[in-house]
Each structure stands twice: as structure tokens, then as C-alpha cells.
Amino acid sequence: MKFAKIPMATITRLSVYMRTLQDLLEDDVDVISSERLARLCGVNPAQIRKDLAYFGEFGVRGVGYRVGDLLGQIKDILGLTRRWNLAMVGLGNLGSALVRHANFLKHGYTFTAAFDVDPQKVGKRLPNGLLINHVNEIEEVVKDRDVNVGIITTPASAAQSVANQLVLAGINGILNFAPVQIQVPDCCHVENVDFTISLDTIAYHLSVSG
Amino acid sequence: MKFAKIPMATITRLSVYMRTLQDLLEDDVDVISSERLARLCGVNPAQIRKDLAYFGEFGVRGVGYRVGDLLGQIKDILGLTRRWNLAMVGLGNLGSALVRHANFLKHGYTFTAAFDVDPQKVGKRLPNGLLINHVNEIEEVVKDRDVNVGIITTPASAAQSVANQLVLAGINGILNFAPVQIQVPDCCHVENVDFTISLDTIAYHLSVSG
């Protein structure tokens, strides 16, 4: 499916709706009103209707949304009906913690490759059995194991070089935890994660309200 | 300082500008054009001018921005000229990795408290010397150590109870890594961090372009 000009904030909110719908499905909820879904997602009902309207008509007037149907439709929109293979580059404290984090697998993301430069780590296996390869092997291993997305948790100084290797290996999606802006060709999509930016937002709110 | 109706996206971008300005200052750059600053931050120059215009006049026409001055002004806007004390609740793999992460201290955030329920952990000290207290002690320790922001990295099932305890202890800012929406009073500001939502955004981009 191709949709033009969808705001990024809409895509992010679809992910949030999807998580809430998954929880509802696990609790055997079949149908939910847009008001209640909105409250659970922390948005207003008009926002949900507006976000979904980009992609077609959803829900039944006077009834609400069928949980299983809407979940499937959002997964379809986001491209999450298939499996996504991840490579972790950088097995320090953060990278090691993330590889073990159950949240990835729960949402359909599977680590199929892991890389580091530390001779103490290369050649060893992670608790999940995954072999740690040297970053010099990125191109070969990424192609071999059909990796779709690279996650960078290296120090800032190594991030650009790793990003270059991932792009050379054909990777078009990077989740970057290194505290540096990495430059990639237009065909590659980068999402940056920096916890301290979220802390700055909290600090701002506490400062203006305190 | 109080500013009304500033878009959240502006606040987030100010954090990004601040990080770039810090790097420039470390590289002894005194003055930078809005074009070059924009390129380094991954936005367009009009965006920077618009974001800053909410807070006053910055920069010198035909010259650009004085790096040190603008950095100080943005820190002042965000409330980052003071020290912020953090409490980590949940010392599993992720919590332990985050407490050790140099990025917090670099940006003026100091962990002054840590909590868990595991008898194997409570009473022990983290590599930085911080004592791990039991979550039952949240109220006492938070007040004692002047904690401003709580970080939750517990399992989803424990997150709401921990949030309640933080709020009772007078905490008005929470960074939540647990994969669940927590409910707090209006006086408390919550920022949620979910890496898999960023992965969903990448998956969406790869799906629509692939």
C-alpha cells in the first residue's frame, strides 16, 4: 500500500493505537467505542478518527471499532503483517539490554544478527544464542540473514562508520541510539532515540509549571 | 519563565539544537549561520527561526548565531541551567544499562536514587556507588534526596503502582519505559519511551517505499 503525505505523528499514534488494541484483544474485548479507545490511548476521539481517515473508513457508526479488525488493518497499514529482522551493532550495556528486551519480539521484531568490535565479545554468543560477529562482517552477515533494520548502540564516534557499512550492505532503515546525527542517503530512513531529549521535555514542563 | 502554547515538537527540536550547539562549542566554533546550524540539526533554516521566535529574538542578521549565547538561551528556556535529580525504578537489564549511560550526566541529569523489589538487589550498590532501595521506600528516599524526575523501567504490570508511589512522593515528572500507559494526575508530566514505536515508523517507511 502507498499513502501520500501522512503526518509522521499519525504513524506514531497508529503504533500506540495498535498496542492498546493488542491489549484489548488479549482481554477478549470484541468491540470498543472510539471514546473509550481514545481514553486508553491518551488522545481525544476526534484524533483517532482523523488519523484513521487517511487510510479509509473504519468502525461502525453507533457501535465503535471491532478490535480484531482494526488491529489487523493498522498492522497492514504499518507493514507489520510480515516479519522484520534486526541487527544490533554495539553490544555494550545498552545494546545487550535491548537485545534481551521482550518488547521487540512481542511486536514482531527478531534479532538475527549482532556486531561488535571488542575481541572479548566477537565470536561469543548472546543469551538468546545469537553469535556476535565483527563489524567488518556486516555486509556479508546482513545479506546472509536477511536483515531489514540496523540498530546502532555504539559510541557516538563509531556511529557514522557503522551507518555507512549498514547502508553499503543494503539496509534502508536504522534505529540510532548513538548521541550523534548520522548522515545517510535519502533511500535510508533513520529514527533517532535519545532518552535525554524526553527528559528535557519533562524539565521544560516542570520549569514552566513550577 | 512561562510561555503559552508552545508546540511540543518545538521543545523537542530545541533539545536537538542544544546538543548540536554543545558539540560546536566543544569544537571552538563561535558563530554559525542558521543555514549551517539547520543542516547539522537535520531541519530547514526557517524551522529554527520559527522555533526560536516563540521565545524572543536570537541571532544577528547577516552573521548568524553566537554559539555560546544561543546555547545558554536555549538551556534557560528548557530549564536546564539547574541540576535535575533522577530516580531509577527497576534495575533489570535496561534500568541497569541506563543508570550507567554517560548521556544523562552529560546533559545535567544525575541519578540520586535507585529502587527495585528483588531481595538480591535491594541493599546492594550500583557501579556508581548508588544504593538500591526497596520500592516501599520511594516516598522517604525521594524527599530525602530531592528527586525531581522518576524513570520507570519495571515490567508493565508494576508500572502503575510505581507511578502512584512516585506521585505520592511529590514527583511531577516521569519518564516511562514500561510498555503500558500509566495514569497520573494533571500536575504530573509523563513522557513514554517505546523503541518499538520507532521501529514501527521505520517499518512503515520501508513498506511504502519498498
User: Chain A: nearest CA to B193, how far in angstroms?
Assistant: 7
- Whole-angstrom Cα distance, residue B63 to residue B87? 43
Joined together, the cell numbers standing for residue B160 give 502503575
Q: Which residues of A touch B196 (CB under 8 A)?
A: 15, 103-104, 106-107, 109
Confidence of residue A210 (pLDDT cuts 50, 70, 90): low
Residue A67: predicted pLDDT = 96
Residue A3: predicted pLDDT = 55
Beta bridge partners of B111: B86
> What pTM, to 2 d.p., does this model score?
0.87
Joined together, the cell numbers standing for residue A67 give 478490535
Q: Which residues of B touch A187 (CB under 8 A)?
A: 209
Q: Which residues of B touch A107 (CB under 8 A)?
A: 196, 199-200
CATH topology of domain A8-78: Arc Repressor Mutant, subunit A (1.10.10)
pLDDT mean over A89-104: 92
Give the number of other CB atoms < 10 A from CB of residue B113.
Answer: 22
Give the number of other CB atoms < 10 A from CB of residue A35.
Answer: 12
Whether A209 shows a pLDDT value over 70: the answer reads yes
Residue B7: predicted pLDDT = 87
User: Chain A: nearest CA to B8, how far in angstroms?
Assistant: 8
Residue numbers of chain B with a pLDDT score lower than 70:
1-4, 210
Residue A177: predicted pLDDT = 94
Q: Which of A86, A90, A78 is nearest to A153 (CA)?
A: A90
Taking an 8 Å cut-off on Cβ atoms, the answer to whether A97 and B101 are in contact is no
- Whole-angstrom Cα distance, residue A209 to residue B189? 10
Residue B205: predicted pLDDT = 93
Residue B5: predicted pLDDT = 77
**Cα A209 vs. chain centroid, distance in angstroms?**
32
Amino acid at A154: T
User: Chain A: nearest CA to B113, how far in angstroms?
Assistant: 16
Per-residue model confidence as pLDDT tens digits over A115-161:
999 999 999 999 889 999 999 999 999 999 999 999 999 999 999 99
Whether A25 shows a pLDDT value over 80: the answer reads yes
Q: What is the ipTM of this complex?
A: 0.92
- Whole-angstrom Cα distance, residue B151 to residue B51? 28
Domains of chain B: which residue ranges?
Answer: 8-78, 84-196
CB A52 within 8 A of CB A3: no
Whether A97 shows a pLDDT value over 90: the answer reads yes
Taking an 8 Å cut-off on Cβ atoms, the answer to whether A179 and B100 are in contact is no
Q: How far is residue B144 from each of residues B112, B113, B169, measured CA to CA in Å? A: 10, 10, 10
CA dihedral B151, B157, B163, B165 (to 10 degrees): -110
Per-residue model confidence as pLDDT tens digits over A42-71:
889 999 999 999 998 888 888 899 999 999
- Whole-angstrom Cα distance, residue A52 to residue A66? 14
Q: Which CATH architecture has domain B84-196?
A: 3-Layer(aba) Sandwich (3.40)
Give the number of other CB atoms < 10 A from CB of residue A122.
Answer: 18
CA nearest A183 in B: which residue? B42
Confidence of residue A13 (pLDDT cuts 50, 70, 90): very high
Per-residue model confidence as pLDDT tens digits over A168-199:
999 999 999 998 889 999 999 999 998 899 99
